[in-house]
Chain A
Amino acid sequence: MYQYDTFDHALVRDRVSQFRGQVARRLAGELSEEEFRPLRLMNGLYLQLHAYMLRVAIPYGTLSATQMRRLAHIARRYDRGFGHFTTRQNIQYNWPKLEEVPDLLEDLAEVEMHAIQTSGNCIRNTTSDPFAGRAADEVEDARVWCEIIRQWSTLHPEFSFLPRKFKIAVSAAKVDRAAIRVHDIGLHLHRNDAGETGFQVMVGGGLGRTPMVGKTIREFLPAEHLLSYLEAILRVYNQEGRRDNKFKARIKILVHESSPEVIREKVEAEWQAIRDEAVDLPAEEVARIRAFFAAPDWPARPDAPAALAAARAKQPAFDRWVKANVAPHRTPGYAIVTVSLKPVGGPPGDATDAQMDAIADLSERYGFGEIRVTHEQNLVLPDVAQEDLHALWLALGEQGLATANVNLVSDIIACPGLDYCALANARSIPVAQDITRRFADDDRIGLIGELKIKISGCINACGHHHVGDIGILGVEKTGEEFYQITLGGRPDDKAAIGTITGRAFAYDEVVDAVERIVETYMALRADGEIFRDTLTRLGHDPFKEALYAAD
């Protein structure tokens, strides 16, 4: 993992003192709420329905055990004993007191964390593959480049007042686990025919009210030129992105309205003008950062140990958990474990302080003290010896963290919705909770197989509903909550935006509607198909029929 040096520490500490001053000016009445708003937003502090909400950055979703314990401490000391992991691989606290936020930030700074640029019209936390560095299908640990981007984008003098927020995601694997095609910039690190590493650069993806899949403007950018190329894109966007209408201000609209070809030409021209300037890092600095992400020295452990097979045979619940939550590791004898934060009836992505502490302990006992946050609002223990899986499962079970549903129907992404969010039109969390209760039977969800439900409480699409196999969007009609259902979205290397099935459903009809879709699929699927395959093969008609036949 990356570790701060004196310079990184100085910047974060300076930022904490600066924000302490800004809060003091607000509390003393020197700043009105209106004047304070842009300042707090540059530091992740929102004013929500009931209270302030603070969003803490977890750069590219990687945490140490020490940092996770600090997040638990913050949940206890400044909040109501829990935190909410988000689709940006960050964590949100829903109940901090304004006057305590500077202390909270100081506690974070001690463990090399901050809330810089977790909101505002600036470059946000760069997200990445939660399996980075551990997956067999990658060319390099993508987090090297995420950290390079993190530093370059922090308090950027030119790009801190963009037309709108700006999100960058990086993946270095064949399978896209970071949804890079629905980001303002998606970067796919790969090798060319000559064996050199470089980025496929995609621009203009995004969700929100105008969902779009990113367009490739460069197939291969030599990796060492990343920052100058990003600077070129950001400069074109800062100058030409729309500022007349906040709903049309994202770069996707600029790309759409001027065409990907025009944007490519402008970016390339700008890049040619600056590519030899100082912004690209010297090779020794890239090497310094890369060294922090060197693979740990995994002690030899038996691959596919007999005890694991025996435990799976003996305990069906453990077997289900292994099937759903355990992924292959690049090193024989090890596994990547996803810890589901989607228990039946629980709010997706929430963890209590005790759970966070427990995960921190387990990451040290069964790994090297490293934890990842996924954009699907789960946690990952990236280095578990296969021999230890059973013991880990038992320990997770004691904390209510052994839910065996990763990628299954109850592994739902949901935004905070009307329970917390000032923008929401409808509740999201209770809908997710109700769906998990309906699909509480582990055998049943195992039979249903991979199926991703994503729920947003408004058109801003924080719950990624556009890219769910089943997407649910809360809307408001004459004071009532209604929910539109979309089908066929996906966020990965074959990214697609879902299409609306038809009329929206009332709050108490949604779970039945979802179940009708699932039952239709179960009745029609061919051998070995998952939901997405059946939908692709048969089209949407049978599902619409099942949803609306009674209309």
Chain B
Amino acid sequence: MPLIKDGQVRQDQWRHLDDDEALPKDADAVTVSLARWERNETELHDWNGRLGLRLDSGQLAEQVGDTAQRFDLIMIAFPAFTDGRGFSTARLLRARYGFTGELRATGHVIRDQFFFLQRVGFDTIELADPAPAAQWAEAMTEVSVVYQPSNDRRVTIPRARWQTPAAAE
């Protein structure tokens, strides 16, 4: 499926393997489910290409832990946009478990969540219909200030108040 990254539509370069699908010879970037990763296949551990992990919404960051750093991509599924567990998963994978690779939201997310998704550390969004990509980019510009510290490391309002006291007049 196409992706949105930095406001642009991109093609997915990754191969997403089923749990019983053999590692392909012709791909250099594959993802596996957490269940498959936890089976501890020698083949997977010896794999030299880029490796990605797929989490469903009920698989929380703690289950991955520091192993997160082993992956180049982690995909977090949103079965419905109202299922907000993925926001905490993303926040913790980055802030607590040191994940620095690509974080991707899959499944059902909406344009109006893009701001929040990006704030907790998502880089890419998988989209069934890439047509409104421009609208998604626009969603990032709608709110100019934030109160809470998060993974995007934006300067928060409470900090800004004390860095530039003149602006708070």
Contact = CB atoms under 8 A, between A and B. Distances in A.
A158 B145 contact: no
B81 A281 contact: no
Contact of A279 (B116, B144, B149): B149
Nearest to B83: A243
Given A157-B116, A158-B88, A11 B145 contact: yes
Contacts of A5: 161, 167-169
A161 B113 contact: yes
A241 to B, nearest CB: 9
Interface in A154-170: 154-163
A155 B143 contact: yes
B85 A38 contact: no
A239 B144 contact: no
A534 interface: no
Contacts of B87: 157-161, 238
Interface stretch (A13-21, A79-87, A194-202, A379-387): A13-21
Interface in A235-294: 235, 238-239, 243, 273, 277-279, 281-282, 284-285, 288
B60 interface: yes
A163 B85 CA distance: 9
A38 B84 CA distance: 13
B125 interface: no
Nearest to A151: B147
Contacts of B159: 278, 282
A243 B60 CA distance: 14
Contact of A22 (B112, B144, B149, B161): B112
B150 interface: yes
Given A5-B161, A6-B167, A7-B168, A277 B149 contact: yes
Interface string A22-49: 1000000000000100110010000000
A160 B143 CA distance: 15
Chain A: interface residue count, which band? 35 or more
Contacts of A243: 83, 85
A152 B161 CA distance: 14
A121 interface: yes
Which interface class (under 10, 10 to 19, 20 to 34, 35 or more) fits B? Answer: 35 or more
Indicate the member of B89, B147, B156 with the most A CB atoms within 10 Å: B147
A159 B144 CA distance: 19
B43 interface: no
Contacts of A22: 112
A342 B157 CA distance: 41
B161 A157 contact: no
A10 interface: yes
Nearest to A156: B148
Contacts of A284: 162
A108 B148 CA distance: 24
Contacts of B119: 157
B49 interface: no
Contacts of A14: 142-145
A284 B160 CA distance: 12
B84 A160 contact: yes
B50 interface: no
B55 interface: no
Given A7-B157, A160-B116, A239-B60, A155 B84 contact: no
B42 interface: no
Interface string B31-64: 0000000000000000000000000000010000
B150 A7 contact: no
B1 interface: no
Given A159-B84, A238-B87, A10 B144 contact: yes
Interface of A: 5-8, 10-11, 14-15, 17-18, 21-22, 35, 38-39, 42, 121, 151-152, 154-163, 235, 238-239, 243, 273, 277-279, 281-282, 284-285, 288
Q: Which 4 A-B pairs have the closest CB atoms?
A: A161-B84, A157-B119, A278-B149, A18-B142
